Amino acid sequence: MTPSTVQNKAFVVLLILVTIAFGAILWEFHGAVFWGVVLAILFAPLHRRLQRRMPKRRNLAALCTLGLCLVVVILPMIAITVSLVQEATVIYERVRSGQLNFGLYFQQVMAALPAWAVGLLDRLGLTSVTELQQRFSAVAVQASQFVATQALSIGQNTLQFVVSFGIMLYLLFFLLRDGPSLARRIGHATPLDEAHKRQLVTKFTTVIRATVKGNIVVAASQGALGGIIFWILGIQGPVLWGVLMAFLSLLPAVGAGLIWVPVAIYFLATGALWKGLVLTAFGICVIGLVDNVLRPILVGKDTKMPDYVVLISTLGGMSIFGLTGFVIGPAIAALFIACWDLFSPAPPRSTP
């Protein structure tokens, strides 16, 4: 082994170690870094337009794009988060004090069921009605407490949120200003074929834009519509339930129906027929159709992964990375598929 070979291997080991160490330093703020990169990708076309109009003012173009990003995305998210914390705190206090009793609501629904339906529940192995009520009540209380606790923790960690928010804005400014040169530098240092690099970068940016622009817009639309109908029907905490519907809308085959369907059943079973019918019709004809209408337009059939891949990668991403995982998970899944497509391309279809 020649001295130059030893030096090259030693340098590669050193490069790996310092990269891991730098990643460990950034890990505490990985959410801020990731969302800075995501927003830079989303607003890059707008930034390029502004920069063409002011080619000699790179800082001003980046600052204008950052201001538009604040107005369009970040400030509305902060306002929704504040309202969510307030409503979740109120509901949590009502649950803890007993004013809001999910077990009582379930008991009212069971009391309104006909005898054959109650007997059917027992024959299906759902044990006794009383035991089922207790289990449902326990799950509902735990879910409400979990949501309220998470909302309270967001409010209590104000300093950490402010620091992460500042890091994200600071990084976003420089990614907008120096993003193209940084991307070229990273591409030059990546030891892959140019065609492979272009395909991977295109796949990554496409999935990021499709996930954020498509899935988030669909989820936000369904959550907003659900919150509005809950507010019209006089249900307490419309912002909280709307946000929950938006989160559930991110998961294929689950959807916002997990929130509004039980409420509609409660209305119908307890005699509030017009509320139940209005909520059912609105949920099916408006909330349910948003996904079928908006998602193909915003995401596109060519960039959409199979629903089961999106579901598993979203759940896995959120379990590891928290809220940020609903974007990280599908992005990693898309890169995984793209890398394997490059390694083993699909065989050509045989013509009859």
- The pair phi, psi for residue 49, each rounded to 5°, is -65, -45
Task: Give Cα 51 to chain centroid, integer Å.
Answer: 31
CB under 8 Å to 218, separation ≥6 — which residues?
249, 290, 291, 294, 295, 298
Q: Are 27 and 41 in contact (CB under 8 A)?
A: no
Query: Residue type at 131?
Result: E
Q: Are 171 and 178 in contact (CB under 8 A)?
A: no
- Can you state the angle between helices 307-321 and 325-343, rounded to 10 degrees? 130
Q: How far apart are CA 251 and CA 257, in angstroms?
A: 11
Q: If phi over 0 gives left and psi between -120 and 50 gives alpha, with beta otherwise, what is residue 252?
A: beta
**Predicted local distance difference test score (pLDDT) of residue 162:** 77
- Cα 198 to the center of its chain, rounded Å: 27
What's the average pLDDT block by block, 10 residues per block, for the chain (352 residues)?
A: 71 85 84 84 86 84 87 76 70 66 61 64 55 58 56 59 83 86 78 75 76 76 87 82 80 71 80 85 84 66 66 79 76 79 62 48
The pLDDT value recorded for residue 295 is 66
Structure tokens at 334: 């898309």
26: Cβ contacts below 8 Å, ≥ 6 apart? 33
What span, in angstroms and rounded, lies between the C-alpha atoms of 291 and 311?
15
For residue 299, what is the DSSP state? Answer: T
CA 164/CA 267 separation, integer angstroms: 43
Q: In 10 A of CB 68, how many CB atoms?
A: 14
CA 208/CA 194 separation, integer angstroms: 21
All structural domains of the chain with their residue ranges: 29-178, 194-344
Q: Rounded to whole angstroms, how far apart are CA atoms 37 and 178? A: 12
Report the pLDDT value the prediction gives residue 127, as an integer from 0 to 100: 44
At what angle are helices 129-156 and 75-97 packed, to 10 degrees?
A: 130
Q: Which of 327, 20, 306 is nearest to 204 (CA)?
A: 327
DSSP notation for 167-229: HHHHHHHHHHHHHHHHHHHHHHHS-S-HHHHHHHHHHHHHHHHIIIIIIIHHHHHHHHHHHHH
Helix axis angle, 158-189 to 129-156, nearest 10°: 80
Name residue 169's amino acid.
Answer: L
The reported pLDDT for the residue numbered 256 is 77
